[in-house]
């Protein structure tokens, strides 16, 4: 049989894979840090986690929020490190795109460059006892032989095959299952993995599998003979081992330098990094999820007890007084690019001709979830009453919550706000909710009115809404990024993943 060797495309994609995987691992750790707890249940009740990477205790006697549970990891393990969930996610998605494209090219060539696929796919049952035999050989501190016509011994073949054809797709599928837009549109999909939190836990176990594979793989390369093995990956043959070692070391130095430069850039110029990363990530996300609308209807028995809170209620006098009077003086003002600006009382909203109730899964960007029932008015009906002008494109949700006034450790100035475009406004499950689980919206969850946009992450669902401004463009509002968290925490404004 002809030697399969180490063709150029295999060596090239292997190099790209190292770059993308190293960024995926660090950015994955960054994302985990923002909610360092793992669950098998979607309610994520405090204390029900099966694994936790934090020792922080939450106070028993006063309101705490999911932001208080966050951990800040060092830039050595996380990119970019510290309090950088937004950028960490953008690094993750950028590298997901590169890594998947690399994988597609690799697998395509594995089959196009016939019969290269046989290097990974076993063609006889003999491989299984053979792999076991190889394992025993390794345990006796010897290197198993490579069978004729093969590039790897049987254990290597099975391991590499499993990494390429099982672990990589598993990581992609469990990752996709965490998208709020996908799970809103196809609730059956996340059930394949149990539910959202089991997909998240499995994605984490996949990370552990990757790190273990990389560690063992590198160790075995050294055991097999570093120079000889690296020569295969650099030159495609076993010759020129010394030159291969020099090139490998130089490449490792270059990879470390790339990590340092990108990390520093991301920390020092967060706004530029946000724009640069999103310039790649957003068009891909949009093209995949643009038309996705929510069709969720969880069962009443799925409703989560004690859902988490993020964001503390407004601390201003005006709001407190209103809350004490059952929001009798509350007005929702709709203004801006509309023919008929309006002001609605809570009573008017509650007695609006159309009422909508939906039981949905709330996804916080940090990673926790809960199921709740929301009742309210379809948003587009309110806006249509006000007759938006033709140039109107976005809705800006203004709130009573002055962040530095209500948060002990505010991450930015001014009042919380958020924007959505008209497309999201028109989605069937986009409502202004005034009830949660059959009762008036509690103060911590946004009383008297909050937005629900069920294909999006939680941070888009503005609580304590006092007004809706209809605009053509949001660049003059706040810091111009489309929302308070986008402005101050560098989140992307599209939140379907």
Ligand X SMILES: Nc1nc2c(c(=O)[nH]1)N[C@H]1C(S)=C(S)[C@@H](COP(=O)(O)O)O[C@H]1N2
Please report, as ranges, the residues that interact with ligand X according to CB under 6 A: 307-311, 364, 399, 401, 416, 445-446, 458-459, 461-464
Binding mask 274-313 for Mo ion (x = CB under 5 A): ------------------------------------x---
d(CA 365, CA 374): 20
SS3 486: helix
Binding mask 401-440 for Mo ion (x = CB under 5 A): ----------------------------------------
Residue 20 binds which entry of Mo ion, ligand X, none, CB below 5-8 Å type-dependent = none
CB of 4 to ligand X, least distance (A): 51
Residue 309 binds which entry of ligand X, Mo ion, none, CB below 5-8 Å type-dependent = ligand X
| 364 near Mo ion (CB under 5 A) | yes
d(CA 25, CA 78): 8
Q: Toward ligand X, which CB reaches closer, 95 or 197?
A: 197
d(CA 112, CA 106): 10
Residues in the interface with Mo ion (CB under 5 A) total: 5
Q: Toward ligand X, which CB reaches closer, 144 or 448?
A: 448
Q: Toward Mo ion, which CB reaches closer, 83 or 229?
A: 83
The dihedral of CA 339, 343, 347, 349: what is its sign? positive
The dihedral of CA 195, 201, 205, 206: what is its sign? positive
Tracing tokens 């690399």 back to the chain, one arrives at: 102
Q: Toward Mo ion, which CB reaches closer, 85 or 432?
A: 85
Q: Toward ligand X, which CB reaches closer, 6 or 490?
A: 490
d(CA 271, CA 487): 9
CB of 442 to ligand X, least distance (A): 8
How many Cβ atoms from other residues are within 10 Å of residue 279's Cβ?
A: 10
Q: Measured over all CA atoms, what is the biggest interatomic distance in the chain, rounded to whole angstroms?
A: 85
d(CA 29, CA 36): 9
Q: Toward Mo ion, which CB reaches closer, 26 or 460?
A: 460
CB of 441 to ligand X, least distance (A): 9
Binding mask 309-338 for Mo ion (x = CB under 5 A): -x----------------------------
Residue 430 binds which entry of ligand X, Mo ion, none, CB below 5-8 Å type-dependent = none
Q: Toward Mo ion, which CB reaches closer, 13 or 366?
A: 366
| 116 near Mo ion (CB under 5 A) | no
Q: Toward ligand X, which CB reaches closer, 159 or 399?
A: 399
How many Cβ atoms from other residues are within 10 Å of residue 325's Cβ?
A: 9
Positions 44 through 83 that interact with Mo ion (CB under 5 A): none
Residue 468 binds which entry of ligand X, Mo ion, none, CB below 5-8 Å type-dependent = none
State the DSSP H helix or E strand holding residue 451, giving kind and residue range, or none if neither: strand 450-453
CB of 227 to Mo ion, least distance (A): 50
| 180 near Mo ion (CB under 5 A) | no
Q: Which stretch binds Mo ion (CB under 5 A): 40-48, 222-230, 328-336, 357-365?
A: 357-365
d(CA 323, CA 336): 27
Could you give the C-alpha distances from 288 to 98, 364, 453, 455, 457, in angstroms and in order? Answer: 16, 21, 18, 13, 16
Measured in whole angstroms, how far is the alpha carbon of residue 494 from the centre of its chain? 12
Q: How many CA atoms lie within 13 A of 72 on its CB side?
A: 4
d(CA 469, CA 457): 21
By Cβ distance, which residue is nearest to ligand X? 311
| 459 near Mo ion (CB under 5 A) | yes
| 458 near Mo ion (CB under 5 A) | yes
How many Cβ atoms from other residues are within 10 Å of residue 373's Cβ?
A: 19
Q: Toward Mo ion, which CB reaches closer, 19 or 453?
A: 453
- Phi, psi at residue 40, to the nearest 5°? -110, 5
* Chain positions contacting Mo ion, by CB under 5 A: 310, 364-365, 458-459
């Amino acid at each position: 049989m002809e030697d399969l060797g180490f063709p150029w495309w295999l060596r090239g994609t292997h190099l790209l894979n190292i770059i993308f995987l190293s960024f995926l691992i660090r950015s994955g750790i960054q994302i985990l840090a923002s909610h360092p707890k793992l669950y098998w249940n979607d309610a994520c009740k405090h204390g029900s986690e099966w694994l936790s990477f934090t020792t922080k205790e939450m106070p028993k006697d006063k309101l705490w929020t999911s932001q208080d549970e966050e951990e800040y990891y060092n830039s050595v393990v996380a990119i970019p490190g510290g309090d950088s969930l937004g950028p960490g996610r953008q690094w993750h998605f950028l590298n997901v795109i590169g890594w998947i494209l690399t994988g597609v090219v690799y697998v395509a060539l594995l089959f196009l460059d016939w019969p290269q696929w046989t290097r990974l796919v076993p063609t006889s049952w003999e491989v299984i006892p053979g792999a076991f035999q190889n394992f025993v050989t390794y345990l006796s501190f010897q290197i198993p032989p490579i069978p004729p016509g093969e590039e790897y011994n049987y254990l290597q073949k099975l391991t590499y095959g499993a990494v390429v054809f099982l672990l990589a797709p598993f990581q992609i599928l469990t990752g996709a299952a965490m998208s709020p837009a996908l799970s809103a549109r196809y609730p059956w999909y996340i059930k394949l993995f149990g539910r959202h939190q089991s997909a998240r836990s499995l994605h984490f176990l996949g990370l552990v599998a990757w790190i273990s594979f990389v560690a063992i793989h590198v160790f075995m390369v050294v055991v097999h003979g570093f120079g000889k093995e690296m020569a295969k990956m650099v030159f495609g043959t076993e010759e020129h081992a010394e030159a291969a070692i020099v090139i490998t070391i130089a490449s490792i130095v270059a990879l470390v330098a790339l990590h340092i430069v990108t990390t520093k850039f991301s920390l020092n110029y967060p706004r530029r990094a946000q724009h640069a990363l999103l310039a790649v990530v957003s068009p891909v996300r949009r093209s995949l999820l643009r038309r996705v609308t929510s069709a969720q209807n969880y069962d009443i028995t799925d409703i989560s007890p004690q859902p988490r809170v993020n964001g503390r209620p407004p601390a201003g006098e005006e709001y407190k007084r209103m809350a004490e009077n059952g929001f009798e003086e509350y007005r929702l003002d709709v203004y801006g690019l509309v023919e008929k600006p309006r002001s609605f009382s809570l009573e008017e909203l509650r007695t609006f001709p159309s009422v909508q109730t939906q039981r949905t899964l709330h996804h916080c960007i940090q990673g926790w979830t809960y199921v709740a029932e929301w009742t309210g008015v379809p948003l587009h009906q309110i806006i249509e009453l006000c007759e938006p002008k033709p140039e109107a494109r976005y809705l800006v949700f203004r709130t009573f919550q002055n962040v530095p006034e209500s948060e002990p450790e505010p991450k930015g100035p001014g009042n919380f706000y958020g924007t959505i475009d008209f497309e999201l406004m028109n989605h069937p499950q986009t409502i202004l909710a005034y009830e949660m689980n059959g009762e008036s919206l509690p103060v911590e969850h946004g009383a008297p009115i909050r937005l629900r946009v069920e294909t999006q992450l939680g941070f888009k669902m503005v609580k304590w809404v006092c007004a809706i401004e209809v605009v053509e463009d949001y660049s003059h509002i706040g810091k111009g990024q489309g929302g308070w968290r986008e402005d101050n925490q560098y989140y992307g404004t599209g939140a379907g993943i």
